[in-house]
Amino acid sequence: MRLRFVLVDVFADRPLAGNPLAVFPESDGIPDEKLQPIAREMDHPATAFLFRPTLPGAAFRLRVFSREREIAFAGHPALGAHFVHAGESGRPGRAGGTMSHEGAEGLFEVEFAPEEDGARLRLRHRLPEFGPRFSDEDVAAVASALGVSEEDVQAANQPVRIVSTGLPVLIVPVATLESLFRARPRPGALANLLEGREAALVYAFTKETRDARAAAHARAFDVDGSVEIPGAGAAAGALAAYLVAEAAVPVAPITLLSIEQGHFVSRPSTLFAEVRTRDGEITDVIVGGRVMRVGEGFLEV
């Protein structure tokens, strides 16, 4: 089989930044057993495969694979997939608009706003689910597994907990940017801590940022893959909901946040989040950023 793919950078303000993604826009002929090996061959944090939809209202059905596993919900593959689909199909067109794709848990809506050298896209997440706060004993174990001191975590004065807006993520506050950059995680230890807790992604963050306009600087660690992810949209949605729920940022009916990520791995990313609340309850979580096309090619399998 000769399979065409398109390469894009998601959450990037320039080519060769952000989170790289390979998108296969015509995947219907690919056998299921080849999807995982193809993702491993592409060797990106995720690879997106687009299929004909089965649900009314969906532009396409999306399946996403990391190097190790299929992922039910992920932010940057959804945005990159919609960007490629819009370019291939001519929809939603130069005027922008919204489209939905079919995922493992139904329909997901993406807003599309074209720009001269790319596009801004935003993905509506699921309503947040908050796990219990970790105990002091578990916080100490998390800090050790991340390679930071327990004091670095406790000094942030925010809880360690699992939050999901579509994908369960362990949110870990760290007091300073220097402490966050010193982190050297031990994936095996993190995996042991998260066993039975569903989360396979750790999102460590600090409110000390490089850009004063940003709400947080974050690093994302895939426990199963033992890798750092340059820009994690699903994790950013969980963090945005966490920051609003904990009143760790000024909260308004519509709270707009930007999150820095990827600097440690030389792939700077900027993720934009919007959290809407009514009567103290979160009603919407939307995460987006810029997407840029950087190339295409063929894979022979």
**Predicted TM-score (pTM) of this structure:** 0.93
Q: H/E element holding 146?
A: helix 136-146
Tokens of 198: 């569903």
Is the model's pLDDT at 92 over the cut of 70? no
Question: How much is the mean pLDDT over the chain?
Answer: 94
Which pLDDT tens digit goes with each residue over 44-86? Answer: 999 999 999 999 999 999 999 999 999 989 999 999 999 999 9
Give the type of residue at 208.
Answer: E
Classify domain 2-126+290-300 at the CATH topology level.
Answer: Diaminopimelate Epimerase; Chain A, domain 1 (3.10.310)
Which pLDDT tens digit goes with each residue over 206-223? Answer: 999 999 999 999 999 998
Lowest-confidence pick of 198-202, 258-262, 294-298: 198-202
Over range 130-138, report the average pLDDT.
96
pLDDT score for 205: 98
Equal CATH topology for 2-126+290-300 and 129-287: yes
179 falls in which pLDDT band (50, 70, 90)? Answer: very high
Backbone angles phi, psi at 83, to 5 degrees: -60, -45
Give the residue extent of every domain in the chain: 2-126+290-300, 129-287
Cα separation values, 24 from 17, 77, 178, Å: 20, 11, 39
Q: How far apart (Å, rounded) are the C-alpha atoms in residues 301 and 299?
A: 6
180 falls in which pLDDT band (50, 70, 90)? Answer: very high
Is the model's pLDDT at 95 over the cut of 70? no
Is the model's pLDDT at 93 over the cut of 60? no
Question: b/e for 278-293, b at 16 or more Cβ within 10 A?
Answer: eeeebeebbbbbbbbb
Q: H/E element holding 83?
A: helix 75-89
Reference 219, options 206, 210, 208; nearest CA is 206
The pLDDT > 70 percentage for the chain reads 98
pLDDT score for 233: 96
Classify domain 129-287 at the CATH topology level.
Answer: Diaminopimelate Epimerase; Chain A, domain 1 (3.10.310)
Strand segments, DSSP code E, in the chain are 2-10, 19-24, 47-51, 61-65, 70-71, 97-103, 106-115, 118-124, 129-130, 161-164, 168-173, 201-206, 216-222, 227-229, 254-261, 269-278, 281-300
